[in-house]
Amino acid sequence: MSIQAIILLGAPGAGKGTMAEAIRSATTFIHVSTGDMLREAIKAGTLVGREAEAFMRQGELVPDEIILKIVMERLERGAPDAQYMFDGFPRTLEQARLLDAEFARRGAKLINVFLLDVSREVSLERLGGRLICRRCDANFHVRNIPPKTAGVCDNCGGELSQRPDDSRATILKRLEVFQQQTAGLIAYYAKRGVLQRVDSSGPRAETVADIMKRLQ
């Protein structure tokens, strides 16, 4: 047995976080996000952790080679036959190439790359309807998780408002940025024959069931 991995790519509003949690709880895949791995490496004070920290402190992007080292260090700490679900990684084409090279060298296998796809309209509806309590930070949604009284927090009675990131213009911009950033990755994995497009516009349970079926 060798290490196996899947990758989750999700457009804004595709529900990547929810999907990751659903897969994690129903399978043996270990959820690893770039943010968590970076924080762990920095906290542990490893050599690459300190390198990454130096870039971040200067407000610079952590170079692809360092991100990759952090990921491989994380995998080395796990079982030799563990299954991983990458979230937020790889972010660039270069990271994808480096990952492939490392996996080939170690006999690890990338099984699937799931692209959670939603239409622009669904993204706008999901993200545009999010509400947050100004007082206790509780989350609601105009349609999916409506508060008992419009505009009022169920928990504390505080005032609900739209998240600043969720204006129509901001959502459209985020969708555009996602497409620009992932176009290369998507083409790369499609060519390698591991890309699986998953329609994530419907109810969450359906999308989860779809992914589980493909994982079997």
Residues lying near Zn ion in the complex (CB under 5 A) are found at 133, 135-136, 138, 153, 155-156, 158
Spatial strand order of the sheet with 139-141 comes to: 139-141, 130-133, 160-162
Which of the following is catalytic: 163, 168, 197, 204?
163
**In the bound complex, what is the minimum distance in angstroms from residue 135's beta carbon to Zn ion?**
5
In the complex, least distance from residue 92 CB atom to Zn ion, rounded to whole angstroms: 38
Question: How far, in Å, CA of 6 to CA of 129, rounded?
Answer: 30
- Residue 174 designated active-site: yes
Q: And the tokens for 182?
A: 């992932």
Q: Is the CB of 122 or the CB of 160 nearer to Zn ion? A: 160
What long-range pairs does 22-28 form, CB within 8 A, spacing at least 24? 22/204, 22/208, 22/211, 23/85, 23/208, 23/211, 23/212, 23/215, 24/85, 26/208, 26/212, 27/83, 27/212, 27/215, 28/83
Task: Work out how close the CB of 160 gets to Zn ion at its nearest, in angstroms, rounded to a whole number.
Answer: 8
Q: Which is nearer to Zn ion, 50 or 135 (CB)?
A: 135
Q: For residue 156, give the amino acid letter.
A: C
Tokens of residue 192, six digits? 């390698």
Q: Which residues contact 157 (CB under 8 A, 6 or more apart)?
A: 135
Q: Which of 74, 91, 106, 109 is catalytic?
A: 91
Structural contact between residues 171 and 13, judged by C-beta atoms closer than 8 angstroms: yes
To the query of whether residue 173 is one of the catalytic residues in this protein, the response is no
Exactly one of 97, 106, 109, 174 is catalytic; name it: 174
130 is catalytic: yes
* 129 versus 158: smaller Cβ distance to Zn ion: 158
Whole-angstrom distance, CA of residue 20 vs CA of residue 30: 10
Report the nearest approach of Zn ion to the CB of residue 162 (Å). Answer: 15
Please identify, using beta-carbon distances, which residue of 149 and 155 lies nearer to Zn ion: 155
Active site residues: 16, 91, 130, 163, 174
